[in-house]
């Protein structure tokens, strides 16, 4: 089976990650929040099946060290057709999208401008996925994804895998 893989990088400054549909608020059950995340540069691989649909996202810190067997698994629901990994410090922060292109959607709530910027990325990026410096976002047709986070020997989260649920 021939798959397509796109690679990106993003930075985690806050030590916290949010894995979610960018249209949902951080304090909902549909956002996975990870604390004690290794700061620095993370490499991300988006894997698509032969039909071009997103199958998996794997994000790993550039210095992942040795992974322990300790894993945390959670489920994320998707409502907008997008899923992403975001530094918690920038998640749904409207003041950070100044100068970013926006899709022309109606904005009513705090964080809607940020969400419009994420929509612009998925609407115009190759295969519907891309980065903006402090996170990655991609289109998905799956309404639910399994999130598996892994820790290094020092207890910091150094790898996150997002897989569409069957």
Residue ranges in the chain modelled with pLDDT below 70: 1-2, 66-70, 101-103, 166
- Write down the domain spans for the chain: 4-164
Its pTM stands at: 0.88
Tens digit of each residue's pLDDT (9 = 90 or more) over 77-95: 999 999 999 999 999 998 8
Give pLDDT, residue 107.
76
Question: For residue 15, how many C-alpha atoms fall within 13 Å in the half-sphere facing its CB?
Answer: 4
Give pLDDT, residue 138.
94
Concatenating the DSSP letter of every residue in 79-140 gives: SSSEEEEEETTTTT-GGGGTTS--------STTHHHHHHHHHHHHHSGGGEEE-SSEEEEE-
Give pLDDT, residue 68.
65
Q: What is the phi/psi pair of residue 78, to 5°?
A: -120, 130
Give pLDDT, residue 70.
66
Asked whether 58 and 67 are in contact (CB, 8 A), the reply is no
Give pLDDT, residue 165.
86
């Amino acid at each position: 089976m021939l798959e397509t893989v796109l690679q990106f990088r993003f930075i985690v400054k806050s030590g916290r990650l949010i894995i979610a549909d960018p249209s949902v608020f951080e304090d909902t059950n549909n956002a996975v929040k990870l604390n004690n995340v290794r700061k620095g540069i993370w490499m991300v691989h988006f894997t698509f099946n032969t039909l071009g649909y997103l199958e998996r996202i794997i994000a790993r810190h550039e210095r992942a060290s040795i992974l322990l067997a300790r894993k945390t698994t959670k489920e994320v629901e998707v409502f907008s057709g997008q899923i992403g990994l975001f530094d918690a410090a920038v998640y749904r922060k409207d003041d950070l999208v100044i100068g970013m292109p926006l899709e022309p959607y109606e904005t009513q709530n705090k964080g809607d401008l940020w969400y419009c910027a994420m929509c612009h990325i998925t609407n115009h990026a190759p295969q519907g996925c891309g980065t903006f410096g402090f996170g990655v976002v991609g289109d998905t047709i799956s309404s639910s994804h399994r999130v598996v986070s892994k820790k290094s020997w020092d207890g910091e989260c150094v790898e996150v895998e997002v897989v569409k649920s069957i």
